[in-house]
C-alpha cells in the first residue's frame, strides 16, 4: 500500500466519491488482495524482483502441476527446484516448452518471447568437486531463470590449487562469485582472497564421516579468513542465486 495509492484513495473520499465506511473496507482489503494466489506472485515480483519459485520437495506431482499452471496463467513462466523425475515428466507433458535439468533438479518454463537478458553483470558459479555440481547447477539455472548471465567453473578444489589459479582471468571477469564446496569448505576463502567482488559461499552436504551432513563446510565458510565472504544454508544453491540476484539489482 504505497503512499500514492493511499493518497488517491483519500482524494476519492475527500471528493465524496467514496464513503468513509467503504474506504475503511478498501483499505483493509488492499493488503489482503495479494493473498489471492495470482496476486501474491505479482506482488512478490514487484517487491523482490523475480516471480515466486516452486520448492517442489515434499509436494505431490499433482500439487506441483497445479501450482505451475497458476503461475503460467499469471506470468507465462515458472521455475521449480528440487523436482523429481516424475514431476518433470508430468510437467513436460503439460508444458512442451519446459526445460528440465536433471542434474540441478530444476524445471523451468521460460517466458515466450523470452524476457530480455539483463546486461548488468556476470555471475560465476564455481564448484569444488564434481559431487558439488547439483548444488552449483541449481544456483546457475536459478540465476539464468532470473535473467542473469552465468559462467561456470568446475572441479577446482583447493587440494590442486593450480587448477583455480589457472582460471584467474575468469575469476577477475565475474561481477559476483558463487562458490559451492563440501568436505572442508575451503574454496571460498581462497577465491575471496583472489577477487574483490562479492563472494557467496554455499556449503554442500558432500563428504562423509565427520562432515556431519555439511556442518564442517558450513562452519569453515562462516570462519573464512577472507573478509567479506557471506554464507547461505547447506545445499542451498537457489538461495545463493537469489542473493546474487539481489546484488546485481535484479
Site for a copy of itself in 188-207 (CB under 8 A): 189-190, 192-194, 196-200, 203, 205-207
- In the three-class reduction of DSSP (H, G, I as helix; E, B as strand; rest coil), residue 151 is classed as strand
Of 107 and 128, the one with the shorter C-beta distance to a copy of itself is: 128
57 touching a copy of itself, by CB under 8 A:
yes
Of 6 and 86, the one with the shorter C-beta distance to a copy of itself is: 6
66 touching a copy of itself, by CB under 8 A:
no
80 touching a copy of itself, by CB under 8 A:
no
24 touching a copy of itself, by CB under 8 A:
yes
Which has the closest alpha carbon to 197: 243, 166, 238, 234?
243
Inter-CA distances, 196 with 124, 177, 191, Å: 13, 10, 9
141 touching a copy of itself, by CB under 8 A:
no
Of 35 and 115, the one with the shorter C-beta distance to a copy of itself is: 35
217 touching a copy of itself, by CB under 8 A:
yes
The helix or strand, by DSSP H or E, that contains position 221, with its residue range, turns out to be helix 215-222
Cell numbers placing 227: 573478509
Which has the closest alpha carbon to 184: 156, 209, 218?
218
114 touching a copy of itself, by CB under 8 A:
no
16 touching a copy of itself, by CB under 8 A:
yes
Q: How far is it, in rounded angstroms, from Cα 214 to Cα 237?
A: 14
Q: How many CB atoms lie within 10 A of CB 78?
A: 27
* Per-residue binder mask for a copy of itself (CB under 8 A), 119-138, x = binder: ---------xx-x-------
Inter-CA distances, 246 with 176, 209, 239, 249, Å: 11, 35, 11, 5
Which has the closest alpha carbon to 143: 164, 166, 126?
126
Q: Facing residues of 106 across strands? A: 101
143 touching a copy of itself, by CB under 8 A:
no
Of the residues 56, 79, 88, 183, which one makes contact with a copy of itself according to CB under 8 A: 183
Of the residues 56, 158, 179, 180, which one makes contact with a copy of itself according to CB under 8 A: 158
Of 17 and 96, the one with the shorter C-beta distance to a copy of itself is: 17
Kindly identify the residues of this chain, within the stretch 37-56, that bind a copy of itself according to CB under 8 A: 40, 44, 47-49, 53
Amino acid at each position: 500500500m504505497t503512499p500514492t495509492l493511499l493518497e488517491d484513495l483519500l482524494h476519492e473520499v475527500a471528493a465524496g466519491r467514496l464513503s468513509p465506511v467503504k474506504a475503511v473496507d478498501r483499505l483493509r482489503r488492499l493488503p489482503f488482495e495479494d493473498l489471492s494466489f495470482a496476486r501474491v506472485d505479482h506482488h512478490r515480483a514487484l517487491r523482490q524482483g523475480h516471480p515466486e519459485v516452486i520448492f517442489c520437495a515434499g509436494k505431490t506431482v499433482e500439487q506441483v502441476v497445479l501450482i505451475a499452471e497458476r503461475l503460467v496463467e499469471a506470468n507465462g513462466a515458472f521455475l521449480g527446484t528440487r523436482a523429481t523425475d516424475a514431476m518433470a515428466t508430468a510437467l513436460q507433458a503439460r508444458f512442451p516448452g519446459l526445460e528440465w535439468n536433471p542434474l540441478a533438479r530444476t524445471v523451468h518454463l521460460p517466458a515466450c518471447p523470452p524476457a530480455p537478458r539483463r546486461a548488468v553483470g556476470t555471475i560465476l558459479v564455481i564448484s569444488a568437486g564434481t559431487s558439488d555440481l547439483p548444488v552449483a547447477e541449481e544456483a546457475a539455472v536459478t540465476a539464468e531463470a532470473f535473467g542473469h548471465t552465468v559462467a561456470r567453473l568446475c572441479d577446482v578444489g583447493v587440494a590442486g590449487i593450480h587448477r583455480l589459479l589457472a582460471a584467474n582471468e575468469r575469476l577477475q571477469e565475474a561481477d559476483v562469485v558463487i562458490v559451492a564446496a563440501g568436505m572442508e569448505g575451503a574454496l571460498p576463502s581462497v577465491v575471496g582472497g583472489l577477487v574483490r567482488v562479492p563472494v557467496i559461499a554455499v556449503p554442500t552436504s558432500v563428504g562423509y564421516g565427520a562432515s556431519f551432513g555439511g556442518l564442517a563446510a558450513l562452519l569453515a565458510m562462516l570462519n573464512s579468513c577472507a573478509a567479506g565472504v557471506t554464507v547461505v544454508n547447506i545445499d542451498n544453491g537457489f538461495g545463493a542465486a537469489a542473493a546474487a540476484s539481489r546484488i546485481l539489482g535484479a
